[in-house]
Amino acid sequence: MRLGRRLAQIIPTLILVSVLVFGLQQLMPGDPALVLAGEDRGDPRVLAQIRSELWLDRSLPVQYLHWVGNVVQGNLGYSWHTREPVATLIEEKLPVTAQLAVMAFIIAVLIGVPAGVLAAVKRNGPWDYIANAIGLAGLSLPNFWLGIMLILLVSVDLGWLPPSGYVPLTQDVWRSLATTIMPAFVLGNAIAAILMRHTRSAMLSVLDQDYVRTARAKGLSKSRVILRHALRNALIPVVTLGALELGTLLSGAVLTEQVFSIPGFGKMVVDAVFNRDYPVVQGVVLVTAFLFILLNLLADILYVLINPRLRRA
C-alpha cells in the first residue's frame, strides 16, 4: 500500500515541480533575448525575432503549456545558448555526476555507518568521542577547502593522483577512478559525518529496546545482537537519509565539480543560469525531481527488505 501511494504521487509531484521551476524562473532578473542577441541587442527586429522563436512574446500560461506539451512527448527543448537538445546535454552530463555521486555515497556508507555503530556500542568511551570529533570535522570543513588541500597534498606534493579533469569509464576505467576518487571523497566525507551521527542516534535508541535486552538474555553473541537485531531496525531512518543525500549528490555538486573541473550537472546548471538558458535549467530540475522520487521508492522497498513487519503497512 505504501509503495502504491508513492507511485500515485509521481505525476502530481512532477506537475507541481514543473509549475514551481517555470514560475520562479520568471523572477530572475534580465531579459534572455538580450543575452542571446549579443552584439545585436540594440536592434529591435532581432530582439522581436528571438522572442517570437522562443515563445517569449506569449503569455506565461501559453509558454508553460507549450513547454509541458513538449516534455510529455519526450522533448525537453533546445538549449538557447548552444542550440543542442537538452536531453542530449543531460545524457552527456548525468553519467559523470552519477559516477561521482555513487562513489561518494559508497565512501560515505563505508565510513559513516560502521563509525556510527561503533560510537553507539562504545558510548561515552574513547571511540565515541573520536567518532563524534571526526563527524563534527566532516560537517564543518567546506568542500572547496578540503578539495584544494587534497589537490596540494595528494597531487602536487605526492603526485599520486591527477589534480583535476575527468576521464569516462568507457574510455579508461582506472584513469576514470583516479580522476574521481578525490572529489568523491570530498563529497562523501560530509555525508559520512551525517550518516554517522544519525546511525549513532538510531542505534542508541534501539539498543535500549526490550527485544534487544531479550536477545542478550537468551545468550546470543554480542555481534549477532548488534548486527542482526539492533542494526537492522536502526537502519530504517538511515535509509531515508541516505536516499535524500544520494539525490542531492545526483542533482550536482557545484563547488566540488568546479574545484576538480568535473563536467557534471553542477557546472552545466551554473552556466545555464548565468546564460538565462531556461530550457536547460528546467530540464535538469525535472530530471533531478524524478530521480529523487525514484530514490524514495527505492527507500520504501528497502524498508520492507530490512524489516518484513512493514509489509503489513
Q: Where are the alpha helices (DSSP H) in the chain?
A: 2-8, 10-25, 32-37, 44-53, 60-72, 86-121, 126-140, 143-150, 173-207, 210-217, 222-224, 231-250, 254-259, 265-274, 278-306
- Kindly report the length of the chain: 313
Q: What is the pLDDT of residue 66?
A: 82
Neighbours of 18 (CB within 10 A): 18
Q: What is the pLDDT of residue 40?
A: 57
Q: What is the pLDDT of residue 35?
A: 66
Q: What is the pLDDT of residue 214?
A: 74
Give the angle subtended at the CA of 176 by the CAs of 174 and 178, to the nearest 5°: 70
Residue 55, SS3 per DSSP = coil
Q: What is the pLDDT of residue 292?
A: 81
Q: What is the pLDDT of residue 307?
A: 63
Q: Which portions of the chain are predicted below pLDDT 50?
A: none
- What distances in angstroms separate CA 258 from CA 105, 147, 151, 161, 254, one per listed residue? 19, 10, 13, 17, 6
Which grid coordinates are listed for 74?
A: 519526450
Q: What is the pLDDT of residue 1?
A: 52
Domain ranges in the chain? 2-72, 90-312
- What distances in angstroms separate CA 139 from CA 97, 112, 199, 259, 310, one per listed residue? 22, 12, 15, 19, 33
Pick the CATH number of 90-312 from 2.130.10.10, 3.40.50.2000, 3.40.605.10, 1.10.3720.10: 1.10.3720.10
